[in-house]
């Protein structure tokens, strides 16, 4: 029997849990301790392998210091938009990158550069290295 792929929403919520946990420098083990579960369960949540129940998500939001809605920001759409005014979603690769240690470190340190012109020059440099023409 083929393994069922994780639901895109479960993967997104898990990635947001991972991103927030990494933002505050908390280990999977420490988060698990705070929730009374194993770090292996945290790994399964973060990969989207196991779905996070509502009460558990509420507990996670308290431990990580964010509202529950944080975990759904930028989530993939699961149906037609009702009002036609929904904000454009960030590409999935942005959330995926920000959920990595490198992405988080790069973003955190980039935002610590006080001079906007220097930040712009760094973006231009990275764009040139990547071989893109810019936006």
pLDDT at 64: 96
Mean pLDDT of all residues belonging to the chain: 85
First to last CA, the chain: 46
Query: What's the full length of the chain, in residues?
Result: 135
Among 80, 6, 105, which residue's Cα sits nearest to residue 49? 6
> Could you tell me if 17 and 46 are in contact, meaning their C-beta atoms sit under 8 angstroms apart?
yes
pLDDT at 91: 62
Q: How far apart are CA 66 and CA 69, in angstroms?
A: 8
Predicted confidence band of residue 26 (pLDDT cuts 50, 70, 90): very high
Model pTM score: 0.67
pLDDT at 48: 92
Determine the distance from the C-alpha atom of residue 27 to the mean position of all C-alpha atoms in its chain, rounded to a whole number.
15
Structure confidence by residue, pLDDT tens digits, 72-100: 988 887 655 544 444 445 566 777 787 78
């Amino acid at each position: 029997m083929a393994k069922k792929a994780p639901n895109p929403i479960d993967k997104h919520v898990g990635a947001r849990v991972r991103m927030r946990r990494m933002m505050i420098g908390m280990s999977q083990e420490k988060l698990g301790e705070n929730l009374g579960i194993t770090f292996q369960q945290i790994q399964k949540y973060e990969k989207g392998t196991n779905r996070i129940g509502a009460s558990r998500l509420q507990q996670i939001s308290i431990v990580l210091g964010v509202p529950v809605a944080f975990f759904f920001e930028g989530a993939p759409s699961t149906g037609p938009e009702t009002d036609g005014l929904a904000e454009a979603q960030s590409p999935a690769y942005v959330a995926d990158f920000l959920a990595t240690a490198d992405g988080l470190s790069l973003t955190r340190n980039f935002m610590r550069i006080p001079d906007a012109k220097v930040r712009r020059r760094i973006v231009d440099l990275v764009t040139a290295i990547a071989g893109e023409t810019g936006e």
